[in-house]
Chains A and B, each alone.
Chain A
């Protein structure tokens, strides 16, 4: 690869990197909110609230993300009443569709992560808080949630990396992020391996930054007396 084409590849990848980061940055918070709502609903006393949330998590976890994206972007265009409605301003935009579909998907997986975190909270601690006269609300936010967050954080870090990798699917609906640009560049040139290595190292670098960030955050949340040598190492 000569210098000129290398520069061309670099500029293309740099702009694509921003698109990937934008997708991930929009998807993660939205997915987190979805997961929070789903977790709240799944813990409800009323089956009418619990059942749909359970079904949401099951359905989005057992169908491939690509199907979800295509249903939203291509599938919904079948309905003319939807095309005439205001919702179409959002649904005709590939970026918005990708973010919505990915948020729903990662939301379902994250809801499962949250359930695991909440299940790991010792029941004795919750009972102790209730015995001390904490209201249910106070118990949840001051006792249950902090422990659950700490337990769930490593798994959530993995889920964030999965979401980052999932942003690559946005290129199937014309959002030109890293993988989509890499595909075009590979198709144009014969430097397939070189381009793959560059894009792969970008993904690996972002993964590593995410992983280290989550490790740091976990350490920050761990109280002094629970910190061990293993956790301190990062």
Chain B
């Protein structure tokens, strides 16, 4: 084991690991936030399909959420990792392109976070919609608003406020899910920490640092969410 002190391990520069750790953290945050943002939008669409009138869309949406919520996220990641190249090449062949297409780990990671987030957030949106009191629907109809502007101006704001805590939980889940992306060699925090542990022979120190960083990230997120939630209540 190299006789280095803790301070040497975390210097800023080529022989220390601080820079690499921060880069890993940045990749983690980027992957989680892009995947989460896309996932919420997609999840909202899935929720619309669930609440809509079309039976086919309703069935598709419910199959989607049951599948994505019932299967380990790691399995979804493996499906995307091994499956997207083939699927894209199959589609491209339909357009007459026969070359090789490769999707990088970051895209797969964002896609994985997006799909899982969409499944969970669609349930959050759906139950928030159902929790809006029936009187509100009757009220906008009585005021002469058509369904679309009524839902948009009366129901949606109340629904978003009800969905907020659930969406916060999904965000924390998205952060935790990014750790799984280290298995498809995306250079996020877990991957960097594993590499650092193997190189320096001090895996406990580095995994400990990762645990601390995730702890702070989740702690800061939930504190921020609680503050926003309290502010919304009085708005």
Contacts and interface: CB of A to CB of B under 8 A. Distances in A.
B62 interface: no
Contact of B207 (A74, A165, A183, A200): A74
A200 B214 contact: no
Given A166-B72, A200-B75, A75 B197 contact: yes
Contact of B215 (A63, A167, A186): A63
A15 interface: no
Contact of A77 (B83, B182, B203): B203
A75 B67 CA distance: 34
B158 interface: no
A139 interface: no
B214 A62 contact: yes
Given A76-B204, A78-B201, A78-B203, A64 B82 contact: no
Interface string A70-96: 110011111100000000000000000
Interface in B177-225: 179-180, 182-183, 190, 194, 197, 201-205, 207-208, 210-211, 214-215, 218-219, 222
Contact of B82 (A66, A166, A178, A187): A187
B66 interface: yes
A179 B176 contact: no
Interface in A147-188: 161, 165-169, 171-172, 178-179, 182-183, 186-187
B74 A179 contact: yes
A67 B79 contact: no
Residue of A64, A178, A199 with highest tally of chain B CB at under 10 A: A64
A40 interface: no
A26 interface: no
A212 interface: no
B9 to A, nearest CB: 12
B71 interface: yes
Interface secondary structure of B, over-half rule: helix
Given A71-B208, A74-B203, A200 B67 contact: yes
B74 A75 contact: no
Given A62-B218, A66-B179, A74 B197 contact: yes
A192 B75 CA distance: 11
A65 interface: yes
A193 B75 contact: no
A71 B72 CA distance: 21
B35 to A, nearest CB: 15
A203 B70 contact: yes
A222 interface: no
A200 B71 contact: yes
B150 interface: no
B211 A192 contact: no
B16 interface: no
The 4 closest A-B pairs by CB, nearest first: A168-B72, A75-B204, A62-B218, A64-B176
Interface of A: 59, 62-68, 70-71, 74-79, 161, 165-169, 171-172, 178-179, 182-183, 186-187, 190, 192-193, 196, 199-200, 203-204, 207
